[in-house]
Amino acid sequence: MTLTDSAAQAAASSAAPSTSGPRPVRAHRGTELHTLGWQQEGALRMLQNNLDPEVAEHPDELVVYGGTGKAARDWASFDALTRTLSTLKGDETMLVQSGRPVGVMQTHEWAPRVLIANSNLVGDWANWDEFRRLEQLGLTMYGQMTAGSWIYIGTQGILQGTFETFAAVATQRFGGTLAGTITLTGGMGGMGGAQPLAVTMSDGVAICVDVDPSRIARRLEHRYLDVAADSLEHALSLAIEARDARRGLSIGVLGNAAEVFPRLLAMGAPIDIVTDQTSAHDPLAYLPVEHSVDEWHAARERDPIGFAAAARASMAKQVEAMVGFQRAGAEVFDYGNNIRTEA
């Protein structure tokens, strides 16, 4: 394989300044082509769909889900991706490195139209310090699983797996149903937002905590969440009433899990299951108790090291409360977000 004449153009366009910054992105609809073939059109529409305001968590920042999982490195890279896809031929392959097109290869019609590699650090360089250094230089991005690969389909994509997880808890611990139980969890973003519906699908009650009111509003709008409580006491009252009636109910609580979990433990709340799907895998995506949502972005940009240390201290408080619930007899597990390691 050899580089085509358009390879240099793709590389140059990826480095060119964007003609415009954040803007609403919508996937093309219908049968009209905006590229030279349907394979290229499919890739373009998947990229656009990832950043649709109805899909992405923070589309203005190119963040799709998972705290900082992005579809493109920056808006200049997004423009370069769409330009390259619009001219990509049916026997060419675009190469994408961490959200930026870096070349076009002459391949053949049976080869992939797009090859993507995201956030690949190896050996001694596979750590957050090196990643942050490269990110600040504009040389990488965090692509999560389906953000940087342009195949995110919203919370529906994880609902089945989340349901299976809670159904397994029901089978192993509660006789095959979550009826009559209360689950406490944190995080209602793109992944965690599946939890309230997954619990009620097994007839359980879920108290779901999130620091961001927009996430709670989105889950209510999409009917993944049944109700938002006015206070923690209100949430617990609703939960106990539904549990006693063996009726499924999901309840959203606005607050920081690092504060809410310990408070519920101190209240002696009758919690049966505890887990967590905050973005604890990335300390910069976990809000410390001493910061507000409004100052989140500025605070982590201003002092990422201090912010990460504060986030880990808050995680420790949350995990300590989770251990407390476990000692009290609850079924407690993390959900693969590395919160125990980070704490």
Q: Check whether 341 has a pLDDT greater than 70.
A: yes
Tell me what the mean pLDDT of segment 160-176 comes to.
97
**CATH 3.40.50.10730 region(s) of the chain?**
156-342
CB 337 within 8 A of CB 322: no
Bridge partners (DSSP) listed for residue 70: 63
CA–CA separation, 130 and 128 (whole Å): 6
Provide the token pair at 182: 């209360």
**CATH 3.40.1770.10 region(s) of the chain?**
5-136
The predicted pLDDT at position 134 comes to 96
- What pLDDT digit, counting tens, does each position of 11-29 carry? 444 444 445 799 999 999 9
Tell me the HSE value of 64 on the side-chain side, using a 13 A CA sphere: 30
Name the pTM for this structure. Answer: 0.84
Helix axes 75-87, 5-15, angle to 10 degrees: 160
- What pLDDT digit, counting tens, does each position of 85-143 carry? 999 999 999 999 999 999 999 999 999 999 999 999 999 999 989 999 999 999 999 99
CA–CA separation, 136 and 274 (whole Å): 36
Tell me what the mean pLDDT of segment 186-215 comes to.
96
Mean model confidence pLDDT for the chain: 93
CA–CA separation, 71 and 151 (whole Å): 10
CATH topology of domain 156-342: Rossmann fold (3.40.50)
| Whether CATH 3.40.1770.10 fits 5-136 | yes
The predicted pLDDT at position 19 comes to 55
Q: How many residues does the chain have?
A: 343
CA–CA separation, 171 and 163 (whole Å): 12
Residues of the chain above pLDDT 90, percent: 89
> What is the three-class DSSP state of 210?
strand
